[in-house]
Amino acid sequence: MRSAIINVMARACYKVARGLIHDFGEVEQLQVSRKGPADFVSTADLGAQRGLVRELSRARPDYGFLLEEAAPVESRDPLGRRWIVDPLDGTTNYLHGLPHWAISVGLEESGELVAGVIYDPVRDELFWAEKGAGAFLNNRRLRVAERRGLTQSLIATGLPFAGQGDHDAAFSQLRAVAAETAGIRRTGAAALDLAYVAAGRYDGFWENGLQPWDIAAGIVLVREAGGYVTDRAGGRDMMVSGDVVAASARVHHRLFALVRARRDRTPPS
C-alpha cells in the first residue's frame, strides 16, 4: 500500500505525464521541420513544471520547492519540507525523439531525503520509495542486484557535453571502469539510471556535476532497495557536490575506488 504522500507525488506525475506524452508525439514530427523542436521542448518542460507545482501545492500548500526551471520557493512547513522537482529528466533524449525520459519528484524533510517518485510515462513505470518502507516499481518490491563483482556488472554513467563538465576526468573514469566491467551504458537520464540501479537492471551508476533535482528521488530509491549512495569522497554530500556513486554493497566499494582514483588524479602539466 502506498502512503498518502507517495499517492500525492504519483498523482501529480501521472497528471503532467499526459501533456508530455502528447507533446512527445509532436516532437517526433518536428524533427523534420526547419525550425526544429528545441523551443517546443522548452515550452513542454516549463508547462510540466507548472503542472507539478500546481498539483503538489494543492495537496501540501505549505511545502517549499527546489525547481530546475525557476527560483526556489521557501517552505512554510514546521519541518522545512520541500519538493525537489525535475519535470523532464532526459531533456536531450526528448528533444531528439528518444523514448527514454522521466519525471522526478523527491521530498526533503529537515534537510533529509525521505521519499522519491520517478515516473517513466513511455513505459508506464512508476518507481517509488519512502524512507523505511522500501522501494517499488509499480506494485513490485525492488532490490539491488546481487552480482558479486565488477566483471559481471553493467554500470551506467553520464558524460559531460559541449561546454559542460570536466571531460578529462570523465573519460579517465570511463576507461578505468570499462576495463573491469561487463559494460557501460550512457542513456542520458540520471533519474532513470538511479531507478534502474534500485531495480537491479544496472549494478551501479556514477556521474559528476549533477544537480539536486537530477538525483533526489533516485537516492531514496537506491537506499530503500538496499544499495549504497555516496559522493566521491565517500560521504553523503551528493546534493551539494553533485558527484554520485550508487551501487549494491558488493559492487560499490570497487566502483567507488576506481571513480575516486581517476577523479582525484592530478593531470599532467
The pLDDT of residue 34 is above 50: no
Q: Looking at residue 39, what is its pLDDT?
A: 60
Mean pLDDT over 206-219 rounds to 96
In order, the DSSP letters of 150-177 are GGG-EEEE----TT-S-HHHHHHHHHHH
Q: Looking at residue 38, what is its pLDDT?
A: 60
Mean pLDDT of the chain: 91
Q: Looking at residue 162, what is its pLDDT?
A: 76
The pLDDT of residue 32 is above 70: no
pLDDT tens for each residue of 102-130: 999 999 999 999 999 999 999 999 999 99
pLDDT band at 134 (very low <50, low <70, confident <90, very high): very high
The pLDDT of residue 266 is above 50: no
153 within 8 A of 182, measured Cβ to Cβ = yes
The CA-based diameter of the chain, rounded to the nearest angstrom, is 57
pLDDT band at 149 (very low <50, low <70, confident <90, very high): confident
The pLDDT of residue 30 is above 70: no
Mean pLDDT over 57-77 rounds to 95
pLDDT band at 268 (very low <50, low <70, confident <90, very high): very low
Mean pLDDT over 211-218 rounds to 97
Mean pLDDT over 40-68 rounds to 92
Q: Looking at residue 263, what is its pLDDT?
A: 57
d(CA 193, CA 205): 7
The pLDDT of residue 33 is above 70: no
Mean pLDDT over 68-82 rounds to 94
Q: Model-level pTM?
A: 0.92
pLDDT band at 36 (very low <50, low <70, confident <90, very high): low
| Short-list 220, 203, 204, 202, CA closest to 212 | 220
Mean pLDDT over 119-146 rounds to 97
Distances (CA, A) of 256 to 100, 180, 249: 26, 13, 11
pLDDT tens for each residue of 47-56: 999 999 999 9
More reliable by pLDDT, 29 or 251: 251
How many beta carbons lie within 10 A of that of residue 136, not counting itself? 21
Contacts 24+ apart (CB under 8 A), 69-78: 69/45
| Short-list 83, 120, 126, CA closest to 102 | 120
pLDDT tens for each residue of 166-195: 788 889 999 999 999 999 999 999 999 999
Q: Looking at residue 104, what is its pLDDT?
A: 98
Mean pLDDT over 28-55 rounds to 74
